[in-house]
Amino acid sequence: MSAIKIKNLTKKFGKFIAVDSINLEIKEGELFGLLGPNGAGKSTTLNMLATMMIPTSGSATVNNIDIVNQDSVRKSIGVVFQDPSLDDELTGKENLEFHGRMYHMQKDLMSKRIEEVLKLVGLEDKAKFQIKTYSGGMKRRLEIARGLMHHPKILFLDEPTLGLDPQTRRGIWDYIQKLNKDDGLTIILTTHYMEEADYLCDRIAIIDHGKIIALDTPENMKNVMGGDILKIETRESDKLDKILKFEWIKEKKKFDGYLNVTVADGGSAIPDILKASSEAGIKIDSVHMIRPSLEDVFIHFTGRTIREQEADTADQMKSMMNQWGKK
């Protein structure tokens, strides 16, 4: 059974295409990730599915409900937004009560549910404290609890660990996994953290410039690389690229002062590469043999690192805003 079906979904802002005719199907009980750089279209996609934005064209259903039926969709989903949305002057319990009233929950049911979700995220002893006394991780956990108050079938998490320290981030990952595995909750999250998507998600869609460029399990995506990756640091990557013509080299990618070389057996390949570079008078600063990661998969499909893509997107957005400002 599908929790979400998307067909040719598109969102434009003037001439800028934020989401470009994507097609996607997400199963019930799946922990699904939308992975890509900031500005790639992840949050815009999530906002359309959560009925916070109206699509320019295309269609989507959430829990078999067309997203144009906003009230019906919202009753069946929970959302944790990227930006903080708690009232700092209220206590944790008061924030949850306000959410419960927004969903017209009966008083007895609301009180019981508040106890349940606070216990679920480990904040039952902080219920009567004002939000302004919470740490960043505690606030994020309370936002997740709030999104679960009305028993949603699907939980949307938009960059759930953005700005958190590594230890707190790992704690949030554990809560997310528990919700998915123990309660069978369908979870869709957006992230630009490669390790987060790899650790959490059953399947991942890599989004770049509004398009889905890859869709599979993290493991299958990494297997696409076809072997070990030799990350060679050199100031002469162009020259090195030209001389490395061994038949056992499966792929070469240049980026950011490095040459990535994909081979079946990295250990036996390194001596031959070092010998060839030495004979050509090319200085190699370092060689690292690594198992393919999602970052390598991203480079494979785009030819660039996710940080380079973010820089390009920021420049595009700045240019677009300047053009709008002149109108």
Question: Which three-class secondary structure state does DSSP give residue 259?
Answer: strand
Helix, strand and coil percent figures for the chain, each rounded to 5 = 45, 30, 30
Of 217, 245, 268, the last residue of a domain is 217
Same domain, 168 and 267: no
Same domain, 256 and 154: no
Answer whether residue 96 shows pLDDT above 90. Answer: yes
pLDDT tens across 210-228, in order?
Answer: 999 999 999 899 887 778 8
Answer whether residue 269 shows pLDDT above 60. Answer: yes
pLDDT given for residue 295 in this prediction: 87
Handedness of CA 219, 225, 228, 234 (dihedral sign): negative
Supply the mean pLDDT for the chain. 90
| Residue among 126, 117, 138, 121 nearest 91 (CA) | 126
Report residue 324's pLDDT band, with 50, 70 and 90 as the boundaries. very low
Domain tally, the chain = 2
Answer whether residue 110 shows pLDDT above 50. Answer: yes
pLDDT tens across 283-314, in order?
Answer: 999 999 988 888 888 888 887 777 666 655 55
* Structural domain includes residue 296: no
Same domain, 129 and 263: no
Report residue 321's pLDDT band, with 50, 70 and 90 as the boundaries. very low
Same domain, 58 and 18: yes
Same domain, 154 and 90: yes
Same domain, 193 and 242: no
The answer to whether residues 253 and 299 touch, using CB atoms and an 8 Å cutoff, is yes
Answer whether residue 319 shows pLDDT above 60. Answer: no
281: tokens are 């008078």
Same domain, 123 and 259: no
Range of the domain at 95: 2-217
157: tokens are 């998490």
| Residue among 136, 135, 146, 134 nearest 79 (CA) | 146
